[in-house]
Amino acid sequence: MKLKLDENGNVVVQDGKPVYVYDDGKEVTYDVPAAVAKITSLNAEAKNHRERAEKAEADLKAFDRIDVNAAKKALDTVKNLDDKKLIDAGEAERVKAEVIKTYDEKLAEANGRADKLEQALYGEIVGGAFARSKFITDKTTLPPDVAQAYFGKHFSVKDGKIEAKDSSGNPIYSRERAGELANFDEAMEMLINTYPNKDTILRGSGSSGSGAQGKPSQNGAPKSLSECKTDAERIAYMQSKTAE
């Protein structure tokens, strides 16, 4: 990324903000005050996390010399002694086992409901974003469901909002809003631009149609995206779905 200069070698300014040019030719204005404010905010957040970690570490030092297993055994012994005042020690263990079993079953049931709700939320938010994406509709040859089947792994939902990550697991940040996460279409554009076979799925690339490279053969062709083992097979599969 470098500053954009005019014919006299002066920095080009738009709305009081310097203009930068990315390696791919995309131009963006850089709001320095906004970036500084964002960096200051992130530094303050990092300081808060560090102070909390230091406090937790200091609190744990008080337990450095305590044998956790011995402490648990002692507590269990005392508890069983109290139980013997009411019922036989063996019966106490049976009762506790029943209580634990009931609790575990209810916890598993609650976790199952939570997982289903989380999947439904993901489908509604992320699936909806793929379905409504102008970038996918206008710039690619992929149907939204096929695009989601391949690129959906890069998106997750946090606090009700979509977050995108690149193939290395790093958050994708906006080119136009310094310090902020990219919105869905921005993230999709960057993901597809880094995809090795992007020319086969971008409109106007000249590679669509019946003669497109990588079209699967009729014999042994993958029947689903999960059966594809290489990028070439995945692209060919997506092209075949687009042509249907």
Q: How do residues 22-78 score in pLDDT, each as one tens digit?
A: 888 888 887 778 877 888 887 888 788 788 877 877 777 776 667 778 777 777 776
Per-residue model confidence as pLDDT tens digits over 89-134: 567 677 788 888 887 887 777 777 766 666 667 677 888 899 999 9
8 pLDDT band (50/70/90 cuts)?
confident
Per-residue model confidence as pLDDT tens digits over 157-196: 888 888 999 989 999 999 888 889 999 999 999 999 988 8
pLDDT value for 7: 86
Q: In angstroms, rounded to a whole number, what is the distance separating the alpha carbons of residues 149 and 8?
A: 49
pLDDT value for 220: 58
Q: In angstroms, rounded to a whole number, what is the distance separating the alpha carbons of residues 35 and 176?
A: 11
Q: How far is CA 204 from the centre of its chain?
A: 30
Of the listed ranges 17-21, 152-156, 218-222, 224-228, the least confidently predicted one is 218-222
